[in-house]
Structure 1
Amino acid sequence: MKRCQWAGEDPLMQQYHDREWCVPSGDDRYIFEMLSLEGAQAGLSWRVVLHKREAYRVAFHDFDIPRCAKLTDEELGDIKMDQGVIRHMGKLESVRTNARAVLEIQKEFGTFADYLWGYTDYTQVVNRRKTDADIPASTGLSERLSKDLKKRGFKFTGPVIIYSFMQAIGMVNDHVDACGCRTKNSNVN
């Protein structure tokens, strides 16, 4: 099957590309996981983060939002000692900070998904891309969402991270035209 070039030859990257990337999700736990992992990626490659994903799931209790919101400084310090995660304290603390912000959004909107998908009128943004090079790092939409998330206290949610996050949870479909996954889980022709 033809894939977007970024999936490369790494089986884990290919699996993520084929089964998750740009697939719409309304699952708050999964959405929170992807927000946390995208934040961890800042300055690194997605391949590095993806290969540490299982360690993150263990360290952060499968990204259980209420449990992450209650993490203590001591627990975060213990997580920082884990060789399986990216040991950047700011990124680790952002999981707790963002979990708390997600809980506030859930109170206001019902779900984190409803808040996010409201930015696209609950419809996937489907782009036409010829090559991976045509995919932008950020868009006006990711800039608006980033600005509001930051206003709500989120960390590691700049417009570039948020654009990758929007792709990760399927708010945006950026599979290139020739990719076999372009129409999968989408109403794209």
Structure 2
Amino acid sequence: MDDKHRCGWAGSNPLMQQYHDTEWGVPVHDSRMLWETLMLEGFQAGLSWEIILRKREGFRAAFVGFDPKKVARFGEQDIERLMADPGIVRARAKILATIRGAQIFNEMADRGEDFAAYCWSFTGKPIEGSINDAQTPLSAAISKDLKARGFKFVGPTIVYAWMQAVGITNDHVPACFRKAEIADQANSR
């Protein structure tokens, strides 16, 4: 029996526990992975994260490994293919937002702007958060900046969930076994 103390949201579901124990809150510094996670958080809007995790490999296949250069070139045929794909969340607005998000990612790169450097520019390092918050002034500021760049499905609540997922904020509850581990990883970087 597993006697680790985890954040309550991980529950007893093995998929959610695995995600909690290995990914959630670990600082991500890879531009493509930061973008992928932001896009998946957008798809999660109105749904549970468990649904997205169950479909994550389907999303990766459908969006060609979340390669921004490839996704940016998706056209109407690709959109129709995605709308018919039961392996993903089939929401036209979210699909279009992901394609546009890839184009913005590439436009930033063309200007010499690294997406990871941009994402971390708001804090410089992981910060302590409060898992009780659905959004913060910082997530509102990042949301506003992302929207100004043209990203969609990046409201303050989605952005805060993304910040938690990619380790910009360490929101593991104090009693969670991952809280100190994540803090140690962030400090050793």
Question: Do both proteins adopt the same fold according to a TM-score greater than 0.5, normalized to the shorter chain?
Answer: yes
Distance change (3 Å), C-alpha of 1:73 and 1:84 = same
Which residue is 1:2 aligned to?
Answer: 5
User: 5+ residue gaps in structure 1?
Assistant: none
How far has the Cα of 1:15 moved from its partner? 1.0
> Distance in 1 between the 2:180 and 2:79 partners?
40
> Distance in 1 between the 2:114 and 2:27 partners?
15
How far has the Cα of 1:17 moved from its partner? 0.7
> Distance in 1 between the 2:166 and 2:52 partners?
16
> Distance in 2 between the 1:2 and 1:115 partners?
34
> Distance in 2 between the 1:63 and 1:151 partners?
22
Which residue is 1:124 aligned to?
Answer: 126
Q: State percent identity of aligned pairs.
A: 44
Cα contact 2:43–2:89 (8 A) shared by 1:
yes
> Distance in 1 between the 2:87 and 2:65 partners?
14
How many positions carry a matched residue from both structures?
183
Cα contact 1:109–1:115 (8 A) shared by 2:
no
- Normalised to the residue count of structure 2, the TM-score between the two structures is 0.92
Which residue is 1:33 aligned to?
Answer: 36
- Residue number among 73, 98, 111 corresponding to 2:114 in the alignment: 111
> Distance in 2 between the 1:182 and 1:89 partners?
37
Q: Would you say 1:96 and 2:102 are equivalent positions?
A: no
Task: Let me know the Cα RMSD of the aligned residues.
Answer: 1.5
Which residue is 1:159 aligned to?
Answer: 156
Which residue is 1:147 aligned to?
Answer: 144
How far has the Cα of 1:135 moved from its partner? 1.8
Deviates more, 1:155-164 or 1:178-187: 178-187
Where in structure 1 do 4 or more consecutive aligned residues deviate above 6 Å? none
Which residue is 1:49 aligned to?
Answer: 52
